[in-house]
Structure 1
Amino acid sequence: MLLDHLSNGLAAIRTQIGAIFVSLELSRSTWLVTSLSPGKGEKMSKHSVKAGAIAELLKLFAALKRKAQARTGESYPIITIQEAGLDGFWLHRTLQSEGVESYVVDPASIATPRRRRRAKTDRLDGETLLRSLLAYKRGEPRVCAMVVAPSPEEEDRRRLCRERRTLIAERIVHVNRIKGVLFAQGIFDYVPLRRDRRTRLEALRTGDGRLLPAHLKAQISRELDRLELLLDQIAAVEREQDALLAASRPAGEKAASNPVAMLLDLKGLGPNFAAILWSEAFHRQFTNRRQVASYAGLAATPWRSGGIEREQGVSKAGNPRLRTTMIQLAWLWIRHQPQSALTQWFKANSQRGRKRTIVALARKLLVALWKYVTAGVVIEGAVVKPGA
């Protein structure tokens, strides 16, 4: 059996863990596998596997189990850990389907040396991951933050909102490029998103009264081609999103307790906001309001040491899409829910700075919406849409 402490004296935590611990340091070309097996003391073994070679990885796991059994006479399970990142969760799901206990950790939650210049290599990262896994399995509190892997259905469902955000960002780029090119010719009132954009392009005159040069006109025409393609794709994504929301809203009495239906009933929340909140946040299980704010990166980060006490602002260590959406929704909430208690709080505290106060309102609003969709706690003073 593997002991977490070699001394025979008393220790704060003393446990025997019967397992082979493995950390996976993933990259595009190779995977570095660091393992710690019973019967080898504190010696860590390192192996390299070609990236994506699942059969080779499982073969290595089988070899580790055979060697551990030969040394100790017992069979041990394998427990793996990997960082959340570019590879997503497909490897985690594959290992679980093979009967391997797998964990995905938030890399920012792992303690590292605080030296100004610290050594960083894949070998050192693999050992750090392995030590974090050992501490986590021993039950040490807050040693690291394990990521809750979404199901394939949940992961696929939130792609619509994320694709729409990407397409809108590309649309903004093309619109600004067209406006910038025309601005240099003294044209300030052309709106590329209008339906008559092609007709108005033919009638445009430069600031000194000339027709648009041929090459400039051709460039803008090609930009409009790309812009119109984006508009069609955005419309298609929004139709799929509306269909998904409609399918998720049950009919009859169950509709009153459905998260999507409850969000859409509130004035100021449209299909896009409801879809983002549902797919990015409220499909998860949270224990308390602090976890909700932390997941969105809206939790406060105080700095207190001795007589020093100051606030560093929000952590931003959460879901950036949810955080951005909540900031936007907070501004809309003030406009569409002027009589709510949250809006009154914002007006009473906005003298401290509107930017800081709107972030605090976004945090309060997210917590209030979470309580509303999970426990049915009505937001004080909130107005529902007519007919809801």
Structure 2
Amino acid sequence: MEPASIHPTAVRIDLGAIFVSLELSRSTWLITSLSPGSGEKMSKHVVAGGNVAELLDRFEQLQQKARLRTGKLFPIVTIQEAGLDGFWIHRVLETHGIESYVVDAASIATSRRRRRAKTDKIDGEALTRTLLAFKRGEPRVCAMVRAPDPKDEDRRRICRERKVLIAERVRHVNRVKGLLFAQGVSGYQPLRKDRRQRLEELQTGDGRELPKHLKAQINRELDRLELLLEQIAAVESERNSLLSMDEQPAVEATSPAAMLLSLKGVGAEFAAVLWTEALSRHFDNRRQIAAYAGLTPTPWMSGTIDHEQGVSKAGNPRLRTTMIQLSWLWLRNQPASALSRWFVDRVQSNGGRLKKAAIVALARKLLIALWKFVTAGVVIEGAVMKTA
């Protein structure tokens, strides 16, 4: 008697929907779909990039083909990777009643071979299988991205633009100082209001006047620097208006931004970044907000190996950097708080070492404490509020 042949288990597609993955690029969009009644074969179709009408027509064709095979009309469920396209395609699909998901591409398991094949076709099929597993309820199969509200998404541009402008200001200041240092001039501060007058008074290290073309180049650098200073002031004015209590209705007197500003050591920029980057979103628990900031531990445990690799750094880098900076300021401005006392005791128990590791742990605890403070009104133990 011959042994029974072993056949691979078929893919389950009995969830009553047409599963579609979108591989997006500037020129083309690859649509990979798996429909009921088509077995395990995935169909692929290419539409022009940005052509939403053609995309919706293709979805309608998929529904009609599935209806001819099965006699039923199935809904469309789509998935796409988070990327440079943002969330506008996701919002268009939801507007047309299509169930849409945006996935973090780094959370999808891939082959660990040194040389693995990678094409849009392979990626599209992998995305479709990931969507199937997610809808079946398999745990930890991927991490879906929560699309922010358009107003919240637009609001956080203020702090991000200011950071870009500050970086450009630093580059212009360093360039001016470098040009002067090559002539033996040091101590010139381009950010002072009398920058133009002091430039006319400068002399080279060997007692000469500044060369004509060098002075003209520096003046052009100062023109760009002054424009940047005006733009930074305008952005900061928008930020202050956003945080101002006078601009908010009376019913929002206890808004997250106002509550953060009431804490000693938290200024307008920190409050704006915390509010726009994190606290305007919804989190179910403290683990979610810590993971969003990339402040969760990453243990490496296998057999007798037990090693901690540090924080994951997989979340929002702007929020993580801000929390590290705020943690150092928290120690200075809130020394009597329970979090500051915990940090001091932790460092002293290690003989004054491992301050950097401890400050990261403090940043995680402080972020969770601030989240509880603005969402549930849980007062941070020992925290001092600003005087009126």
What TM-score do you get using the length of structure 2 for normalisation?
A: 0.94
Q: Which of 278, 292, 295 is equivalent to 1:295?
A: 292
Using the alignment, how far apart are the partners of 1:44 and 1:247 within structure 2? 55
Task: Tell me the C-alpha RMSD between the 2 structures.
Answer: 1.8
Matched, 1:365 2:366: yes
**Aligned-partner residue type, residue 297 of structure 1:** G
Q: Counterparts of 1:252-291 in structure 2 under 5 Å?
A: 255=253, 257-291=254-288
Task: Work out the number of aligned pairs and report it.
Answer: 378
- 1:151: which partner in 2? 149
Matched, 1:379 2:364: no
**Aligned-partner residue type, residue 228 of structure 1:** E
**Aligned-partner residue type, residue 344 of structure 2:** K
Q: Counterparts of 1:243-258 in structure 2 under 5 Å?
A: 243-246=241-244, 250=248, 255=253, 257-258=254-255
Please say if residues 304 and 310 of structure 1, whose CA atoms lie closer than 8 Å, have aligned partners that are also in contact: yes
- 2:173: which partner in 1? 175
1:201 to partner: Cα distance: 0.7
- 1:58: which partner in 2? 56
Q: Counterparts of 1:228-239 in structure 2 under 5 Å?
A: 228-239=226-237
> Which is further off, 63-72 or 328-337?
328-337
Using the alignment, how far apart are the partners of 2:202 and 2:371 within structure 1? 51
**Aligned-partner residue type, residue 170 of structure 2:** I
Please say if residues 245 and 258 of structure 2, whose CA atoms lie closer than 8 Å, have aligned partners that are also in contact: no
> Which is further off, 343-352 or 198-207?
343-352
1:15 to partner: Cα distance: 7.6
Using the alignment, how far apart are the partners of 1:96 and 1:182 within structure 2? 57
1:346 to partner: Cα distance: 2.2
**Aligned-partner residue type, residue 270 of structure 2:** F
Please say if residues 249 and 261 of structure 1, whose CA atoms lie closer than 8 Å, have aligned partners that are also in contact: no
Using the alignment, how far apart are the partners of 1:328 and 1:238 within structure 2? 19
Q: Counterparts of 1:342-357 in structure 2 under 5 Å?
A: 342-350=339-347, 351-357=352-358
| Secondary structure in structure 2 of the residue aligned to 1:33 | strand
1:348 to partner: Cα distance: 2.6
> Which is further off, 223-232 or 175-184?
175-184
Using the alignment, how far apart are the partners of 1:56 and 1:6 within structure 2? 36
Structure 2 unaligned spans of 5+: 1-6
Please say if residues 33 and 128 of structure 2, whose CA atoms lie closer than 8 Å, have aligned partners that are also in contact: yes
**Aligned-partner residue type, residue 139 of structure 2:** P
CA offset digits 1:296-329 (Å, max 9, x no partner): 0111111111110111111110011111111111
Q: Give the direction of change, closer, same or farther, for the CA distance of 1:55–1:33 in structure 2 (3 Å limit).
A: same
| Secondary structure in structure 1 of the residue aligned to 2:144 | coil
Q: Give the direction of change, closer, same or farther, for the CA distance of 1:207–1:345 in structure 2 (3 Å limit).
A: farther
- 1:16: which partner in 2? 14
Please say if residues 15 and 138 of structure 1, whose CA atoms lie closer than 8 Å, have aligned partners that are also in contact: no
Using the alignment, how far apart are the partners of 1:252 and 1:338 within structure 2? 33
Following TM superposition, the consecutive aligned residue runs of length 4 or more in structure 1 with deviations greater than 6 angstroms are none
Please say if residues 107 and 142 of structure 2, whose CA atoms lie closer than 8 Å, have aligned partners that are also in contact: yes
Using the alignment, how far apart are the partners of 1:217 and 1:138 within structure 2? 69
- 2:338: which partner in 1? 341
Please say if residues 14 and 36 of structure 2, whose CA atoms lie closer than 8 Å, have aligned partners that are also in contact: no
1:248 to partner: Cα distance: 8.3
Matched, 1:314 2:311: yes
| Secondary structure in structure 1 of the residue aligned to 2:387 | coil
**Aligned-partner residue type, residue 154 of structure 1:** D
**Aligned-partner residue type, residue 122 of structure 1:** D
1:258 to partner: Cα distance: 2.1
1:345 to partner: Cα distance: 2.2
1:64 to partner: Cα distance: 0.7
**Aligned-partner residue type, residue 374 of structure 1:** T
CA offset digits 1:245-285 (Å, max 9, x no partner): 12687465752x32111100001111111111111101111
Identity value in percent:
69
Using the alignment, how far apart are the partners of 1:374 and 1:153 within structure 2? 19
Using the alignment, how far apart are the partners of 2:282 and 2:29 within structure 1? 32
Using the alignment, how far apart are the partners of 1:288 and 1:57 within structure 2? 37
1:20 to partner: Cα distance: 0.6
1:354 to partner: Cα distance: 2.2
